[in-house]
């Protein structure tokens, strides 16, 4: 059944992430992946190992911390971190309050697939892409911002959901097809920030095209997320600063940290328990100040990093600083996602249990919405569908409408998050059962159609024999029509039934 967001998770329960593995062998494994000072494998050419399982490209460190990087005294506690965006994204922000002259969602989707196909056709070269290519990606981003701004002004406003963790097809299934549009960061656009090679852009575009059907129909809309940071990044920092002043919240995040290291090269990797990503997003390196290098006039000195682990050294003060920094980064990451969703007029849905718990810790009275409840519910059929099948499924407007109506009805009496999640789990199991019936019935339909050799007049003969000559007696085709009409009508209606979606989902998978 559903889950209580704040309760500990059962070791033998299926994991909350939808992997279908037991919790204990999936996200329940919360040990750091190596012990302090654990030996490293020999370095490969062009990279150096920071931990037994992570290596860093030679030269990457120099790019992250060029000579002359300022040193600031560590704060007493966790603090918000800097917001990063480019001038491009600041410019694109102006397209948000557009003048109503935007592309339709379908034309935008068509344009996107066209641009992506062009990028996917680039040579796999290490040269930078041409200016023309860069401009095409930039223009596409600008059109996207304009079209999304117009979607938001529509009444009734389409259901727009924001998620930046899951593949868009998986996300649509796990949120029970409740979204008209799924918005997420445009990885191809983001790639341009890192001055990519043509090969890199080609790879990014090719992986994006896995969902070509969802993109073309405008169901999946990648947006330049940096635009949200350029316009509202301050809000994310302020929300973070507010949270970091709440001792209870800081203590809770602190209790969730999983720290690996110091490794044999004095690196620390920090992640949060029950976060969706199981690899640490951030690492920290211990810096030794070379006292002999101190220039008292300029205040410049050299630091050396990646030094061997020293079991006699007291790393504790440094580890505590790093934990504070990790707490700040994790809290701010959530606020940046929420603010980005808000800027683009979407509802934020998280796929990370850590994040859901963080939000619940900061606001105990708020209740999660239907899409977020669906994400934590047990919905087996729809979650394994692929982009092309999903795009087809979503054209069944009647059935989708019926499904959403049933979700609203199911949630009417739910009072808590756990009840919300349970109600959706129960509803999907009912629909599942109804869909099996529907499938059985349509199989009978098929068998029935197979015995009809031709058009309606032939049908009257078959029916005639079945009903003991009654139809035949009432005069051929006309009588058959009267009998057939309600029968066929019933079958037509099943396509407007939510359960039909589950039949289609099963067929798509086979
Ligand atoms: Zn898991």
Ligand 1 centroid distance, CA of 384 (Å): 15
pLDDT at 388: 87
Closest by Cα among 472, 418, 369 to 6: 418
How far apart are the CA of 383 and the centre of ligand 1, in A?
A: 15
Among 43, 84, 382, 374, which Cα is nearest to 237's?
Answer: 84
Each residue of 182-201: pLDDT tens digit?
999 999 999 998 889 999 99
Q: How far is the CA of 275 from the centre of ligand 1 (A)?
A: 9
Between CA 145 and CA 229, with CA 332 as vertex, the angle to 5 degrees is 25
Percent of the chain with pLDDT over 70: 85
pLDDT exceeds 90 at position 393: no
Q: How far is CA 436 from CA 245, 431, 440, 441, 501, in A?
A: 53, 9, 6, 9, 11
Lowest average pLDDT, out of 47-56, 205-214, 246-255, 464-473, goes to 464-473
Q: How much distance in Å is there from the Cα of 15 to the middle of ligand 1?
A: 5
| Residues contacting residue 430 through CB under 8 Å, at least 6 positions apart | none
Centre of ligand 1 from the C-alpha of residue 33, in Å? 16
CA of 23 to the centre of ligand 1 (A): 6
Q: Spell out a b/e string for 439-468, using b for 16 or more CB atoms within 10 Å of the CB, else e.
A: eeeeeeeeeeeeeeeeeeeebbbebbeeee
Ligand 1 geometric centre to CA of 30 (Å): 11
Supply the pLDDT for residue 493: 59
What is residue 260's predicted lDDT score, i.e. its pLDDT? 96
For residue 440, how far is its CA from the centre of ligand 1 (angstroms)?
Answer: 34
Q: In the chain, what are the domain boundaries?
A: 69-364, 381-509
HSE of 188 in the Cβ direction (CA atoms, 13 Å)? Answer: 32
Ligand 1 centroid–CA 333 distance in Å is: 20
Distance 356 CA to ligand 1 centre (A): 15
pLDDT band at 280 (very low <50, low <70, confident <90, very high): confident
Q: Which two tokens stand for residue 495?
A: 């396509």
pLDDT digits (tens, 9 = 90+) for 315-363: 999 999 999 999 999 999 999 999 999 999 999 999 999 999 999 888 8
Mean of pLDDT values over 481-501: 57
- State the Cα–Cα distance between residues 83 and 90, nearest whole angstrom: 12
CA of 22 to the centre of ligand 1 (A): 8
Report how far residue 365's alpha carbon sits from residue 103's, in angstroms, rounded to the nearest whole number.
40
User: Which of these, 381, 427, 418, 375, lies nearest to 2 by C-alpha position?
Assistant: 418
How many angstroms separate the alpha carbon of residue 424 from the centre of ligand 1?
Answer: 20
Predicted pLDDT of residue 361: 87
365: pLDDT strictly greater than 90: no
Name the CA dihedral angle for 71, 75, 79, 82, rounded to a multiple of 10 degrees: -10
* Residue 252 three-state SS: helix
Confidence of residue 398 (pLDDT cuts 50, 70, 90): confident
Alpha carbon distance, N-terminus to C-terminus of the chain = 26
pLDDT, one tens digit per residue, over 76-97 is 788 888 888 888 899 888 888 7
Distance (angstroms) between ligand 1 centre and the Cα of 273 equals: 11
Q: C-alpha 307: how far from its chain's center? A: 38
132 Cα to the center of ligand 1, angstroms: 42
Q: How far is the CA of 27 from the centre of ligand 1 (A)?
A: 4
Q: Is the model's pLDDT at 243 over the cut of 50? A: yes
- Angle formed at CA 286 by CA 280 and CA 289, multiple of 5 degrees: 160
Amino acid 226: pLDDT:
94
Q: How far is the CA of 368 from the centre of ligand 1 (A)?
A: 21
Query: Which residue from 488, 496, 461, 455 is spatially nearest to 475, judged by alpha carbons?
Result: 461
Task: Answer whether 186's CB lies under 8 Å from 224's CB.
Answer: yes
Rounded Cα gap, residues 216 and 505, in angstroms: 20
> How much distance in Å is there from the Cα of 20 to the middle of ligand 1?
8
Residue 120 has pLDDT above 70, yes or no: yes
Distance (Å) from CA 282 to ligand 1 centroid: 20
Q: How far is the CA of 3 from the centre of ligand 1 (A)?
A: 14
Q: 19 alpha carbon to ligand 1 midpoint, in Å? A: 6
Measured in Å, residue 8 CA sits from the centre of ligand 1 at 14
CA distance 209 to 312: 53
**Closest CA relative to residue 68, chosen from 308, 298, 376, 232:** 298
Q: Which residue has the higher pLDDT, 461 or 46?
A: 46
CA of 160 to the centre of ligand 1 (A): 26
CA of 291 relative to ligand 1 center, distance in Å = 47
- Crossing angle of helices 397-411/417-450, nearest 10°? 150
Number of DSSP helices (H) and strands (E) in the chain, helices first: 19, 11
- Tell me the C-alpha to C-alpha distance, in Å, between residue 486 and each of 50, 434, 452, 470, 489: 71, 20, 18, 17, 5
Summarize the confidence of residues 217-238 as an average pLDDT.
95
pLDDT at 452: 43
pLDDT class for 454, splitting at 50, 70, 90?
Answer: very low
Cα–ligand 1 centroid distance for 398 (angstroms): 34
Write the DSSP symbol of residue 94: G
In sequence order, the β-bridge partners of residue 272 are 257
What is residue 416's predicted lDDT score, i.e. its pLDDT?
87
Please tell me the distance between residue 334's alpha carbon and the centre of ligand 1 in angstroms: 19
Distance 134 CA to ligand 1 centre (A): 38
CA distance 93 to 95: 5
* 375 CA from centroid of ligand 1 (Å): 13
- 205: pLDDT strictly greater than 90: yes
pLDDT the model gives residue 59: 76
Work out the mean pLDDT of the chain and round it to a whole number: 85
- pLDDT, tens digit, for every residue of 472-488? 333 444 444 334 433 44
- Are 319 and 47 in contact by the 8 Å Cβ rule? The answer is no
Between the CA of residue 417 and those of 177, 239, 268, 376, what are the distances in Å?
20, 23, 36, 10
* CA distance to 4, 215, 233, per residue, from 249 (Å): 19, 39, 21
- What pLDDT digit, counting tens, does each position of 413-450 carry? 888 888 999 999 999 998 988 888 877 776 666 554 54
Least confident of 147-156, 237-246, 448-457: 448-457
Burial of 275 (0-12, 13-18, 19+ CB in 10 A): buried
User: How far is the C-alpha of 143 from the C-alpha of 276, rounded, in Å?
Assistant: 31
Selected residue with higher pLDDT from 10 and 476: 10
Q: Which long-range contacts (CB under 8 A, 24 or more apart) does 280-283 make?
A: 281/329, 281/333, 282/326, 282/329, 283/50, 283/54
Higher per-residue confidence, 42 vs 482: 42
CA of 452 to the centre of ligand 1 (A): 51
- How would residue 73 be classed by pLDDT, with cut points 50, 70 and 90? low
Q: What is the mean pLDDT of residues 249-271?
A: 96
Q: How remote is the CA of residue 278 from the centroid of ligand 1, in Å? A: 9
Measured in angstroms, how far is the CA atom of residue 24 from the centroid of ligand 1?
Answer: 9
Distance CA 176, CA 400 (A): 10
Arithmetic mean of pLDDT, 58-69: 69
pLDDT of residue 380: 77
Distance 72 CA to ligand 1 centre (A): 38
Q: Is the pLDDT of residue 253 over 50?
A: yes
453: pLDDT confidence band, cut at 50, 70 and 90? very low
Query: In angstroms, what is the span from residue 26 Cα to ligand 1's centroid?
Result: 4
**Tokens encoding 354:** 């850590």
Whether 461 has a pLDDT exceeding 50, the answer reads: no
Give 127-132 contacts, CB < 8 A, sequence gap 24+. Answer: 127/197, 127/198, 128/195, 128/196, 128/197, 128/198, 129/196, 129/197, 129/198, 129/201
Helix pair angle (316-343, 353-362), 10° resolution: 90
C-alpha–C-alpha distance, residues 481 and 484, integer Å: 5
438 Cα–ligand 1 center, Å: 33
Predicted pLDDT at 289: 77
């Amino acid at each position: 059944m559903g889950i209580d967001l704040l309760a500990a998770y059962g070791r033998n329960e299926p994991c909350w992430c939808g992997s279908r593995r037991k919790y204990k062998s999936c996200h329940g494994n919360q040990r750091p992946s190596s012990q302090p000072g654990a030996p490293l494998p020999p370095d490969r050419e062009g990279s150096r190992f920071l931990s037994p399982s992570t290596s860093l490209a030679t030269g990457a460190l120099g790019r992250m911390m060029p000579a002359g990087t300022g040193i600031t005294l560590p704060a007493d506690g966790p603090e918000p971190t800097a917001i990063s965006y480019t001038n491009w994204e600041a410019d694109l922000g102006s397209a948000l309050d557009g003048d109503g002259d935007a592309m339709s969602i379908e034309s935008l989707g068509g344009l996107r697939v066209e641009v992506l196909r062009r990028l996917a056709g680039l040579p796999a070269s290490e040269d930078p892409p041409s200016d023309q290519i860069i401009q095409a990606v930039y223009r596409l981003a600008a059109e996207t911002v304009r079209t999304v701004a117009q979607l938001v002004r529509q009444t009734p406003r389409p259901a727009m959901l924001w998620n930046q963790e899951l593949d868009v097809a998986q996300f649509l299934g796990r949120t029970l097809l409740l979204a008209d549009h799924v918005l997420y960061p445009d990885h191809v656009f983001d790639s341009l920030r890192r001055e990519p090679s043509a090969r890199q852009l080609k790879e990014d575009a090719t992986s994006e095209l896995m969902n070509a059907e969802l993109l073309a129909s405008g169901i999946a809309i990648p947006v330049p997320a940096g635009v949200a940071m350029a316009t509202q990044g301050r809000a994310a920092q302020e929300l973070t600063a507010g949270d970091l002043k709440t001792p209870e919240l800081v203590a809770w995040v602190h209790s969730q940290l999983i720290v690996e290291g110091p490794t044999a090269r004095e690196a620390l990797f920090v992640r949060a328990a029950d976060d969706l990503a199981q690899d640490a997003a951030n690492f920290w390196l211990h810096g030794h100040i070379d006292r002999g290098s101190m220039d008292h006039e300029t205040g410049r000195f050299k630091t050396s990093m990646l030094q061997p682990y020293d079991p006699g050294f007291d790393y504790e003060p440094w580890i505590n600083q790093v934990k504070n920094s990790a707490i700040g980064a994790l809290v701010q990451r959530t606020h940046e996602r929420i603010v980005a969703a808000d800027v683009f007029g979407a509802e934020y849905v998280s796929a990370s249990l850590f994040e859901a718990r963080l939000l619940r810790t900061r606001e105990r009275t708020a209740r999660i919405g239907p899409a977020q409840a669906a994400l934590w519910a047990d919905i087996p059929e729809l979650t394994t569908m692929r982009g092309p099948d999903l795009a087809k499924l979503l054209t069944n407007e009647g059935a989708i409408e019926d499904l959403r109506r049933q979700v609203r009805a199911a949630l009417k009496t739910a009072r808590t998050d756990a009840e919300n999640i349970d109600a959706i789990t129960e509803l999907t199991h009912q629909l599942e059962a109804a869909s099996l019936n529907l499938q059985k019935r349509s199989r009978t339909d098929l068998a029935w159609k197979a015995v009809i050799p031709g058009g309606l007049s032939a049908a009257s003969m078959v029916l005639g024999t079945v009903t003991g000559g009654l139809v035949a007696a009432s005069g051929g085709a006309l009588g058959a029509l009267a009998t057939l009409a309600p029968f066929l009508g019933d079958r037509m209606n099943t396509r407007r039934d939510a359960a039909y979606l589950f039949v289609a989902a099963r067929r798509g998978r086979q």
